[in-house]
Amino acid sequence: MSGELTRRGALLGTATVALAGTSSARGRAQVGGRAQLRVPWPIATVDPHKLDDAAAAIFGNALFDGLYAYADASVVVPALAEAEPELAGDEVRVKLRAGIVTALGHALTARDVTASIARSRSLGAAAWLADVPSPKRVDDSTISFATRDPQKLARTLASPLLVIVPSGFSAASPDGTGPMRADHRGGALVLTRNSRSARAPSFLDELSVAAAPDLSSSLRAFEAGGDDVGWLGLGLHEPRAGAKSFDAGSCAWAILRTGSLAGVWDSPGNAQRLCDGIAPAKLAYLGLGAAWTTDKDEGWGGAPCELLVRDDSPWLVELARAVAATLSRAGHEVLAKPISATDFSSARGSRAYALAVDVARALAPGAIGALAGLSTSSDSTSAADAIRHPPRLGDVSARTLPRTLRVGILGEIRAQGGRVADLWLPMCADGTGVDWGAATRGRAR
């Protein structure tokens, strides 16, 4: 059995399923090799429990695991949990698999599980966990929840914001149980094979990720042969010879926020109306996903204002400048204003701004997970009600969901671009970015 099948079989709990889904398409996986890329996103920290962490959205699946995981967009299977949740009287119990150790050597116990869930609740998953009581430790490997629906609990715990990390976790030194270990070397985020991985180690020996200061740096380095991946393209001036394109799906959304300084424009639905008025062609170079149906382009109708954006995210800064130029009207000018991440977080918390560009992640695959992430970004208090009593959504576009919120979707943050021919970048099982642990380098594909 190939390394790829072993790893996916560990996640799914059965090698048979892995064989059915991968053997004919890819054959034997190549183990070993290194790859290098750069991304226009901050990489100094990776915090999987934050709703706005782009690095976690892009690379988190390489570093972290939850108790449960999505084998595809709808099927949930045990990951760090030994088995499915078990109903025991008036509670549901979850047992941690034996012998789980993080990349930095921390042996995980039930105390780490309860601490991780508490940490996630305090950051991005408060609304998502509104109906989930805080777990209690039964013994070193078992926790219990005062609920009676095991299947619902498993789906909730499969959220990417509910991965398990050791107590005392630091986003500056992100430690988890995933197929790769994270270290910082010379300003780069270096992911190496994690021999202690709970799901089996990665195929690549190393993935080195540098922070690109602008959108052209990655394409320039890829075209010149310095990098193995071109973020958002095949080259800056012309396609790199022999390069292949890849598109591993949406990792998160770029969103537009309205704040209290927007006046009457700070009303539910206005942010999405502004987003829908922007012609997709004006933002196409940013790789925001499929074109959307454009509504009437009314632009910004409030008083002249600043559009806040974090200054450590070159991609977001470029997006903010493009959006500001598009929304501006005579007498209603919008000026993009990059500020520090600390100041941005403070402004967002107080809502003391008119407009802001930000990042939001889905809390699960599908419309409900999208609604949960977007509504939490808008107002975590009211988001709990939307999650408790979700509307009948069906298979709808995520852009339709914020029409009752104070955020709007500008577009997707996608893992896409160019790659050297012998580097294979498979999509995650749930379609949310590259499965870095399953990436391989060997013969051309």
Q: Where are the beta strands (DSSP E) in 179-243?
A: 180-185, 188-193, 206-211, 229-231
Cα–Cα nearest to 415, from 289, 238, 290: 289
Mean pLDDT of 378-390: 83
What is the per-residue pLDDT across 313-341, written as a single tens digit (0 to 9) for each?
Answer: 999 999 999 999 999 999 999 999 999 99
What is the per-residue pLDDT across 405-434, written as a single tens digit (0 to 9) for each?
Answer: 999 999 999 999 999 999 999 999 989 999
Q: Give yes or no for residue 76 having a pLDDT over 60.
A: yes
Question: What confidence category does residue 391 fall into, taking pLDDT thresholds of 50, 70 and 90?
Answer: confident
Domains along the chain with CATH numbers: 30-63+178-243+420-445 (3.40.190.10), 65-165 (3.90.76.10), 250-414 (3.10.105.10)
How far is it, in rounded angstroms, from Cα 94 to Cα 129?
16
- Among the listed ranges 6-10, 39-43, 395-399, which one has the minimum average pLDDT value? 6-10
How far is it, in rounded angstroms, from Cα 91 to Cα 143?
10
164 near 64, Cβ under 8 Å? yes
Backbone angles phi, psi at 71, to 5 degrees: -75, -25
Q: Give yes or no for residue 18 having a pLDDT over 70.
A: no
Distances (CA, A) of 430 to 9, 160, 252, 257, 417: 16, 11, 13, 27, 19
Q: What pLDDT, on the 0 to 100 scale, is given for residue 15?
A: 29
The helix/strand/coil state of 109 is coil
Mean pLDDT of 333-358: 97
Question: What confidence category does residue 382 fall into, taking pLDDT thresholds of 50, 70 and 90?
Answer: confident
Question: What confidence category does residue 49 fall into, taking pLDDT thresholds of 50, 70 and 90?
Answer: very high
Q: Give yes or no for residue 8 having a pLDDT over 60.
A: no
Q: What angle do CA 103, 109, 113 make, to 5 degrees?
A: 90
Pairing of strands 188-193, 180-185: antiparallel
Q: What pLDDT, on the 0 to 100 scale, is given for residue 296?
A: 82
Helix then strand then coil, in percent of the chain rounded to 5, is: 30, 25, 45
Q: Give yes or no for residue 443 having a pLDDT over 70.
A: no
223 near 419, Cβ under 8 Å? no
Q: Between helices 314-327 and 215-223, what is the axis angle to 10°? A: 120
Q: Which residue has the higher pLDDT, 292 or 28?
A: 292
Q: Give yes or no for residue 385 having a pLDDT over 80.
A: yes
Find the DSSP H helices in 180-328: 215-223, 270-276, 314-327
Question: What confidence category does residue 444 fall into, taking pLDDT thresholds of 50, 70 and 90?
Answer: low
Q: Give yes or no for residue 11 having a pLDDT over 60.
A: no
Mean pLDDT of 176-188: 97
255 near 263, Cβ under 8 Å? no
How far is it, in rounded angstroms, from Cα 337 to Cα 305?
10
Q: Give yes or no for residue 22 having a pLDDT over 60.
A: no
Q: What pLDDT, on the 0 to 100 scale, is given for residue 282?
A: 95
Q: Give yes or no for residue 20 having a pLDDT over 60.
A: no
Q: Give yes or no for residue 72 having a pLDDT over 90.
A: no
Q: Which residue has the higher pLDDT, 213 or 74?
A: 213
Per the prediction, the chain carries an average pLDDT of: 91
38: burial class by Cβ within 10 Å (0-12, 13-18, 19+)?
Answer: buried
How far is it, in rounded angstroms, from Cα 422 to Cα 443?
5
Q: What pLDDT, on the 0 to 100 scale, is given for residue 10?
A: 42
Q: Which residue has the higher pLDDT, 393 or 164?
A: 164
Interacting residues of 75 by C-beta distance below 8 A, sequence separation 6+ = none
Mean pLDDT of 222-236: 97
Cα–Cα nearest to 262, from 409, 408, 412: 408
C-alpha Rg value of the chain to the nearest Å: 22
How far is it, in rounded angstroms, from Cα 176 to Cα 199?
12
Q: What pLDDT, on the 0 to 100 scale, is given for residue 161?
A: 97
Question: What confidence category does residue 445 fall into, taking pLDDT thresholds of 50, 70 and 90?
Answer: low
Question: What confidence category does residue 187 fall into, taking pLDDT thresholds of 50, 70 and 90?
Answer: very high
Q: Which residue has the higher pLDDT, 279 or 72?
A: 279
Distances (CA, A) of 112 to 46, 176, 265: 18, 11, 44
Mean pLDDT of 212-240: 97
- Among the listed ranges 151-160, 209-218, 340-349, 394-403, which one has the minimum average pLDDT value? 394-403
Q: What pLDDT, on the 0 to 100 scale, is given for residue 181?
A: 98
pTM for the predicted model, two decimal places? 0.92
